[in-house]
Structure formats: structure tokens, C-alpha cells
Amino acid sequence: MDSLVSTEWLANEMGASDLRIVDCTKHLPGTGRDPLAEYEAGHIPGAVFMDLSDLVDSTHPVENMLPPAEKFASRMQSLGLGDGSRIVLYDDSAVKTSARAWFMLKMFGAHDVAILDGGIAKWKAEGRALTQGKESLRHRHFTAWQDDSNVRTKAHVLANLHSKDEQVIDARGAARWSGAEEDPRPGIASGHIPGSFNVPFTTLYNADGTFKDKAALKATFEGAGVDLGKPVITSCGSGVTACVLIFAMHLIGKDDAALYDGSWTEWGNDPDTPKAVKA
């Protein structure tokens, strides 16, 4: 299974015993949207709902940090996602939350994970079937395992300011990256990590919500000044759209990209971290 699958591919594979479809929609605060209610009102047949708001480290002072391996494995088992499953993720979120779910599943040991290109919006636009209510699958064993080699902490990023071993790419919109627009979270500074490049995650998609082709993805990163031959750390507001950058780089064969999980929520909230703005 490819890492990016089409609606046509999914429609043809539905019913396969090892296939698991997952709605992992999460919305930004203030949208007034309820992802679980939307899922129950209409989802791709067979899909279970992954609650990303619960898949966090509830003991960490920074919001939306990656959960412990045992908690993640337990939640996957209860969804019926287990060792040997082929997992297809989709969302209906403006911040493309399926990429965050993909990153976590890969980090915690799942091998066969894909994102549905265009998400449920494309599925609906093509007039494909939807199901209402809530799906429940038999529990399956998910081995608790963790590889955090592609995760960076604030200490890592601070050290990298001097070593410059890794490039930092920020997935936020240009106005927030430059500091022209205030951060929506109270108490969080404006601006960006010094030396970081800006590749807004929205620039990686076509108008219909599908990913750009490989050549266009490559051109988008290079056009922002990124050297694709060197390792990368991605950042955003709270570690969600940074995963879109990682997934897009994976699509073009670049797998040495790491996630700064605390992202600007952590960096911008610390008065001691250096911040840059662009006039």
C-alpha cells in the first residue's frame, strides 16, 4: 500500500479483512465544529473515529504533546487497529489532521499506514457512499513501541540555533511566521524561530485538497530556500500542520525530517527563547 491512496483505490479495497479506515478529524478551537458529531452524521463505510484530542500527554504543561506509547497502543487496540492492519486515514479538517495521526502511527510502530488523498471531501464530491452512526471493531493487539528519533525538544532546537545541523521549516501561514499577525493563543509571542524557513502547509495542496505531485512539492520546498539534501526539523503552532510537511517530504523520498512537537506554542510562550520577525 502506498503512503497516499486515492478514493478510487479505497473504494476498490473496501471489505478487505486487514483494511482499517480511520476518521481522524480534529478542528481548531473556535470553529464551533464537533468532529465526532460530524463523523456520526456521515462517514466512509467501516471507518472508526480516532479522537486526536485524547491522544496527547495529559501530564505535559504544553498542549497537544505526543502521548506515551502505552496510552497510544491502548487507544489503537480499542479502535480495532492492531499489528498487521493496513490503516487508511482521512479527515475533514482545515488543518489536515490525518498527517498528525500518520506521524503518530508510524512513530509508535505501525508499518502500513496511508492517507486518503483529498480526504472525505473528495469522497463526498464523487458521490460515494456514506454511513451514519458509530462503528465498532473487535479489539486487536497493538504492540506498544516507540521510536522518537524523529522528534525534537525545545532543547534540541535551541542547540540547533548554534550548530545549524538541521534546517527548521515552519508550516504556519506567512503572516504568523513573519510576525505581522499576532498569535491567536493568549500570551504567545509573535514571530518565528530564528533562521527558520516558511513553507505554509496550505501551499502543498491542489485546489481540490489533494497533494501536489512530487515535482511541485519539491519545487515548493526549494522555492522557500530549503535544501532537500540536508536534514530538517518541522514546526507549526501546536505540532499538527508540521506533520503535513513531514508527510509531503516523505512523498518525495525525504525521510530525515523530524517534528518539533512543542512548536510555537512552547517556543513563543517562553520569554527566554529568541524570536525573529520579518519586516
Cell of 12: 476498490
What pLDDT digit, counting tens, does each position of 143-182 carry? Answer: 988 999 999 999 999 999 999 999 999 999 999 999 999 9
pLDDT bracket for residue 136 (50, 70, 90): confident
> What per-residue confidence (pLDDT) applies to 158?
98
Is the pLDDT at 279 greater than 70? The verdict is no
Q: Average the pLDDT over 78-84 and give the result.
A: 93
> Cα(105)–Cα(157) distance, rounded to whole angstroms?
24
Positions marked active-site: 236
> What per-residue confidence (pLDDT) applies to 144?
84
Average predicted confidence (pLDDT) for the chain: 96
Asked if the domains 4-125 and 151-267 are classified in one and the same CATH topology, the answer is yes
Residue ranges per domain, the chain? 4-125, 151-267
CATH superfamily for domain 151-267 = Rhodanese-like domain (3.40.250.10)
Strand boundaries in 91-146, DSSP class E: 112-116
**Per-position b or e across 132-144, b if 16+ CB within 10 A of its CB:** eeebeeeebebeb
Q: What topology is assigned to 4-125 in CATH? A: Oxidized Rhodanese; domain 1 (3.40.250)
Q: What is the pTM of this model?
A: 0.97
